[in-house]
A and B are shown apart, each in its own frame.
Chain A
Amino acid sequence: MERQEQTRIALAKLFPAEPVVAAAVAAEGSNQEELPPRLAGVVSQDFARHGSHLDVLCHSEQVVAVAEIMDSEGFFLESIAGVDWLDKQQLEVIYDYNRLGGEHCRVTVRTLIPRIEPVVPTICGVFPAADWHERETFDFYGVHFQGHPNLIRILLPEDADFHPLLKDFMP
Chain B
Amino acid sequence: MTVPVHLRHDETFVLNLGPQHPATHGVLRVKLTMDGEYVVKAEPVLGYIHRMHEKMAEGGTFAQFMPNTARMDYLHALAFNHGYALVVEKAAGIEVPERAEFIRVITVELNRIASHLLWWAAFLLDLGGFTPLLYAFDDREKIIDLLERVTGSRLTYCYMRFGGVYNDIDDEFITGTREFIKRLRSRLPRFYHDLVTHNIILIKRIKNIGIITPEQCRRYGATGPVARGSGISYDIRKNEPYSVYPEFDFDVPVFEECDSMARYMVRMHEMEQSLRIIEQALDKLPDGPVMGKAPKMLKPEAGYYYSAVETARGSLGHRLVCDGGKNPYKLKLRSPTFSNLSLYGEVAEGMMLADALAFMGSLDLVIPEIDR
Contacts and interface: CB of A to CB of B under 8 A. Distances in A.
A74 B218 contact: yes
Given A34-B323, A35-B302, A35-B323, A100 B234 contact: yes
Interface string A88-114: 000000101010110010101010000
Contact of A128 (B302, B317, B342): B342
Contacts of B87: 51
B90 A49 contact: yes
B46 A155 contact: yes
A76 interface: yes
Contacts of A151: none
A51 B307 contact: yes
Interface string A61-73: 0000000000000
Interface residues of B, number: 46
A104 B236 CA distance: 10
B47 interface: yes
B221 A50 contact: no
A78 B324 contact: no
B50 interface: yes
B321 interface: yes
B372 A78 contact: no
B237 interface: no
A34 B302 contact: yes
B223 A100 contact: yes
Interface string B331-372: 010100011001100100000000000000000000000011
Contact of A101 (B232, B308, B319, B371): B232
Contacts of B250: none
B55 A50 contact: no
Contacts, number: 112
A157 interface: yes
A62 to B, nearest CB: 19
A164 B323 contact: no
B306 interface: yes
Contacts of B305: 49-51
A83 interface: yes
B219 A34 contact: no
Contact of B304 (A74, A94, A131): A94
B217 A100 contact: yes
A143 interface: no
B218 A156 contact: no
Contacts of B372: 155
A129 B220 contact: yes
B39 to A, nearest CB: 18
B306 A50 contact: yes
A127 B346 CA distance: 13
Interface centre among B47, B304, B339, B342 (most CB of A within 10 A): B304
A82 B330 CA distance: 8
Contacts of B306: 50-52, 96, 106, 108
B316 to A, nearest CB: 10
A104 B315 contact: no
Contacts of A82: 330, 332
A145 interface: no
B321 to A, nearest CB: 5
Contacts of A76: 217-219, 221
B100 to A, nearest CB: 19
B200 interface: no
Contacts of A132: 338-339, 342
Contacts of A79: 221, 317, 319, 332, 334, 339
A101 B233 CA distance: 6
A165 interface: yes
Contact of B330 (A34, A83, A153, A154): A83
Contacts of B217: 76, 100
B218 to A, nearest CB: 5
Interface in A145-163: 153-157
The 7 closest A-B pairs by CB, nearest first: A51-B306, A81-B332, A79-B334, A129-B221, A155-B47, A34-B302, A155-B50
Given A51-B308, A77-B221, A106-B240, 5 more contacts: A76-B221, A79-B339, A100-B218, A100-B234, A155-B47
Interface of B: 46-47, 50, 52, 54-55, 58, 87, 90, 214, 217-221, 223, 227, 232-234, 239-240, 302-308, 315, 317, 319, 321, 323-324, 329-330, 332, 334, 338-339, 342-343, 346, 371-372
Interface of A: 34-35, 48-52, 55, 74, 76-79, 81-84, 94, 96, 98, 100-101, 104, 106, 108, 110, 127-129, 131-132, 140, 153-157, 164-165
29 contacts: A34-B324, A49-B90, A49-B305, A50-B305, A50-B306, A51-B305, A74-B218, A76-B218, A76-B219, A76-B221, A77-B221, A78-B221, A82-B332, A83-B321, A84-B330, A96-B319, A100-B234, A101-B233, A106-B306, A108-B304, A127-B219, A127-B220, A128-B342, A132-B338, A153-B47, A154-B47, A156-B50, A164-B52, A165-B55
